[in-house]
Chains A and B, each alone.
Chain A
Amino acid sequence: GENVEQHPSTLSVQEGDSAVIKCTYSDSASNYFPWYKQELGKRPQLIIDIRSNVGEKKDQRIAVTLNKTAKHFSLHITETQPEDSAVYFCAASKSNYQLIWGAGTKLIIKP
């Protein structure tokens, strides 16, 4: 079955620097790749997603890139701010019923 690996498990960056979180997936038929942000004590919320027919998508300081050949996708956050501190989850699916989640990355923004 599908497997999603997420790295690193913890990432600490200086405020203002960029952060990159990487995920790899095993099922080449996966076609939907969302990223969720979960602040401490809160619910996961979608921040950006990408489908297999595009290679990159941007939304202000957040971008996601997809390499279908290598079967990996990455979340890029530029000009990090304290409010970016959270746990970030990647996921992959062939259909909405079979969303496979990464283990999460705790992002710490140092002032």
Chain B
Amino acid sequence: DTAVSQTPKYLVTQMGNDKSIKCEQNLGHDTMYWYKQDSKKFLKIMFSYNNKELIINETVPNRFSPKSPDKAHLNLHINSLELGDSAVYFCASSQGDHNSPLHFGNGTRLTVT
């Protein structure tokens, strides 16, 4: 009955590879997010989708491409991985466009070697 689930939990890959992280929420929320947390613990928003529409696209390399097939899913595809992409990536969801709590997934620790 996990509310926000993302897979995989760990991802170790080499530079130049392409990888995807999947996220699903069963809370019925309208809005989903991808956050990046670096080694210094800074939480940085990357993308936000509301009802499958992209509403936030921060300054992120175009190697990162989000895809939302429906409002319960938001996947993140990363092309040509670089060392600096190593971080923990969190998916989150919230209800609509109100100021409401974010529900985070358990994170995907990406290590690029």
> What is the interface of chain A, defined by CB distance below 8 A to chain B?
31-32, 34, 36, 38, 42-46, 49, 51, 87, 89, 93, 95-99, 101, 103-104, 106
Contact = CB atoms under 8 A, between A and B. Distances in A.
Give the dominant DSSP class at A's interface.
strand
Contacts, number: 52
B104 A43 contact: yes
A93 B107 CA distance: 23
A99 B55 contact: no
Contacts of B106: 42-43
**A-B residue pairs, 10 tightest by C-beta:** A32-B99, A43-B104, A46-B101, A101-B43, A104-B41, A96-B99, A44-B104, A43-B106, A96-B94, A97-B55
Nearest to A47: B101
A96 B56 CA distance: 11
B102 interface: yes
Contacts of B96: 96
Interface in B85-108: 90, 94, 96-102, 104-107
A49 to B, nearest CB: 7
Given A51-B99, A96-B96, A99-B102, A43 B41 contact: no
Contacts of B105: 43
A44 B94 CA distance: 14
